[in-house]
Amino acid sequence: MQLETATIDIGTSRPLVLLHAADADELGAHPLDRVRIEWAEGTTTGIVKRTDELVEHGTVGLTEPLHHVRGPVAVTLAGSPSSVGAIRKKLDDAELERTELERIVQDIHENRLSDVELSAYVSAVYANGLSLEETTHLTTAMSEIGQQLTWETPVVADKHSIGGVAGNCVTPIMVAIVAAAGVTMPKTSSRAVTSPAGTADVMEVFCDVEHSIDEIESIVAETNACLVWGGGVDLSPVDDEIIRAENPLSIDPEGQLVASVLSKKRSAGSTHVVIDVPYGEGAKVESLAAARGLADDFKRVADHLGIDVCCAITHGADPIGRGVGPVLEARDVLAVLEGLEEAPESLRLKSIRLSELLLDHCGVDADVLDLLESGRALERFREIVAAQGGTPDVSYADLEPAAESTAVRADRSGIVTRVDNRALCDLARRAGAPLDGRAGLVVHPSAGDEIDVGDPLCTIHAQTTAKLEEAASLADRLEPIRVRSKTDALVERR
C-alpha cells in the first residue's frame, strides 16, 4: 500500500504507525500489528494504531522515533520479532538461552516491541525469576548496547543501593566524601523506579543531571566526580526502557535488578563498587537470608564482568533520613554535609560507614569523619554542583517543600513499634513525588520512640489540595507509623 507520511506527536517514545481505519482495513492491519515501511532511503518497522481522526485516508502518521521517514512510503504487514517467542517461553517459566536474551535486548533497543510485549517480558521475569546464568547473559547483553565511559585511572569508585528504604539519600554525601579523599567517582544514577525519589531526582534539585559524555568527562576532570542521570548519556539504554515498563507496575524483579545495576556500572567504567542491600520488614528484601542470596548474585555476575563488587547488607526496616521526596531528601543531604542539628543521625552514620567501606575497598586510607566534619566534603559537593550548572551556595534554608501540608497525628499514646518504608513511599508518591519535586513527607519519630496523643507522626507536603487530600486519606488506611501501648509493644517484640 502506497501512503504519504505525516509526523505526529502524541507523547510517546514508541514507533507507532497511525493508520486511518479504512487504510488499516484494506491492509488487514489490527492494533499492535507490525508493518514494514519502505521509503527512498531505507526500511523500518512500526506498531499499528488505528484511528478515524488523527490522520486522513491515504496518509500514515508517524510518531517521534519514525520522524526521519519522509515522503511517499510503501506499507506492508510484517511478522512479530523473534523475541516475542522467547518472551512467551519465559511466561511459561522456561529458562532462556543466551541468544534469546540477546534478541530480547536488541528488540527492546530497536523499539520493535509494543508496550504490551515489553510489559509481558517484565511480568514474566517478575513472576518466574531469572537463573544466575540468565542474569549473567542478560547483564552482558544490556551492557554492550549504548555508550561506554572509560577512565585513565585504574580505580573508579561507585556505589548503588537496591532501594526500598524511604529517604535513603546516601549517595550524594558519599560521592562528596570519596571525591574529597582523592578517589575518582563518576556517579551515574537512575531516576525513581518504585521510590518517591532516585538519586538523580534528588540531585536535580541542586543542578542539571543530564550531560553529554564530553561534559561528564570535563566535570570529573575538574572535581574528581559527578552526579548525573545515566539515562541522559545512553548508558545501558535498554535498562531505561525496562524501567519505563516497570514503573506503572511498581515492580523491580531481582534478576532484572542485578542486570540493571551491573550493566550500568560496566557501561560507566566502574572498577570498584559497593552495593547497599537493605533488608527488613517493608524493604524490597525482607529477610537476611534473601539479602545474602542477592548479594551473592551481585558478586557472581560482577566477577564475570570483571567488576570488583562488595555488598553491604544493611538494616532496612526503618527510613534513613527524615525527608521522603526530592526536595525533602536534598535538605537532609545538605544538613549532613553542613553539620546542622537538623541532620538525621541515621543518614549521617550510614553515609560515613559506606564511605569507609568503599574507600577501604578501593585501597585508600582516609579519615572519613574528618573529611565530613572539616567541611572538605561539603566544599567538594558545592564544586560538583557548580560544575553541573547549579548554584553552589544553596543552603538548607533555601530548599522549601510544597506549601500545601498536613500532619498525620498519633491517635493514642505509646511506643512507635514500626515505621513502614513501603507505606511511606506509597504516601509520598500519592502526594506527587517524584514528578512534583517539592512533594513528599517528613517522618518525625523513629521506631522505639515514646509518643503522646496528638504528636505528629509525619507531615505530608503536596503541590495541590487534591493530592494532599488523597495522600492523607491513604495515610488513614495504611498506618505508616504504628503506635502501640507499652504493654502491647512488649508483646509485639516477643
- Identify the helix (H) or strand (E) that includes residue 470: helix 465-478
Per-residue pLDDT of 29-73, as tens digits, reads: 999 899 999 999 899 999 999 999 899 999 999 999 999 999 999
Task: Give residues with Cβ within 8 angstroms of 414, minimum separation 6.
Answer: 450, 451, 483, 484, 485, 486, 488, 489
Round to whole Å and give the CA distance between 158 and 274. 6
- Name residue, grid cell 538494616: 315
Which string of DSSP letters, residue by residue, matches 187-210? Answer: EEEPPPSSSS--HHHHHTTTS---
Question: How many CB atoms are closer than 10 A to CB 215?
Answer: 18
Which string of DSSP letters, residue by residue, matches 90-105? Answer: HHTTPPPPHHHHHHHH
Task: Give residues with Cβ within 8 angstroms of 11, minimum separation 6.
Answer: none
Which range has the top average pLDDT, 234-248, 379-393, 410-424, 474-488? 379-393
Closest CA to 206 of 329, 321, 348: 329
pLDDT value for 427? 96
384 or 146, which is more confident?
Answer: 384
Strand, coil or helix: what is 283? Answer: coil
Question: How many CB atoms are closer than 10 A to CB 78?
Answer: 19
Asked if the model's pLDDT at residue 131 lies above 90, the reply is: yes
- The letter for the amino acid at 203 is M
Residue 12 binned pLDDT confidence (cut-offs 50, 70, 90): confident
252 labelled catalytic:
yes
Round to whole Å and give the CA distance between 2 and 279. 58
The torsion angle over the Cα atoms of residues 96, 101, 104 and 108, rounded to 10 degrees, is 140
Task: Give residues with Cβ within 8 angstroms of 309, minimum separation 6.
Answer: 262, 273, 274, 275, 298, 299, 302, 303
Which string of DSSP letters, residue by residue, matches 21-48? Answer: HHHHHHHT--TT-EEEEEETTEEEEEEE
Per-residue pLDDT of 81-120, as tens digits, reads: 889 999 999 999 999 999 999 999 999 998 888 888 999 9
Round to whole Å and give the CA distance between 69 and 63. 10
Which of 240, 252, 276, 420 is catalytic? The answer is 252
DSSP annotation of 65 reads G
Give the architecture-level CATH label for domain 157-396: 3-Layer(aba) Sandwich (3.40)
pLDDT value for 100? 97
pLDDT value for 243? 85
Closest CA to 203 of 184, 226, 222: 226
Per-residue pLDDT of 359-376, as tens digits, reads: 999 999 999 999 999 999
Per-residue pLDDT of 132-156, as tens digits, reads: 999 999 999 999 998 889 999 999 9
Round to whole Å and give the CA distance between 137 and 204. 33
pLDDT value for 13? 79
Homologous superfamily in CATH for domain 404-493: Pyrimidine nucleoside phosphorylase-like, C-terminal domain (3.90.1170.30)
Chain-centroid distance of CA 71 in Å reads: 39
Cβ-count burial 421-436 (b if 16+ within 10 Å, e if not): bbbbbbbbbbbbbbeb
With beta carbons less than 8 A apart as the criterion, state whether 357 and 310 touch. Answer: yes
Strand, coil or helix: what is 160? Answer: strand
Partnered with residue 285 across adjacent β-strands are: 279
Partnered with residue 73 across adjacent β-strands are: 3
Task: Give residues with Cβ within 8 angstroms of 133, minimum separation 6.
Answer: 95
Asked if the model's pLDDT at residue 318 lies above 90, the reply is: no
Which sequence spans correspond to the domains of the chain? 2-78, 83-129, 157-396, 404-493
Asked if the model's pLDDT at residue 494 lies above 80, the reply is: no
Per-residue pLDDT of 453-490, as tens digits, reads: 999 999 999 999 999 999 999 999 999 999 998 776 66
Give the cell for residue 357. Answer: 567501606
Task: Give residues with Cβ within 8 angstroms of 417, minimum separation 6.
Answer: 447, 482, 483, 484, 488, 489, 492, 493
Sign of the Cα torsion 401, 402, 404, 405 reads negative
pLDDT value for 240? 85
Sign of the Cα torsion 25, 27, 32, 33 reads positive
Sign of the Cα torsion 190, 193, 162, 463 reads positive
Strand, coil or helix: what is 400? Answer: coil
Round to whole Å and give the CA distance between 461 and 429. 11
Round to whole Å and give the CA distance between 63 and 67. 6
Closest CA to 420 of 475, 355, 339: 475
Strand, coil or helix: what is 179? Answer: helix
CATH 2.40.40.20 fits 2-78, yes or no: yes
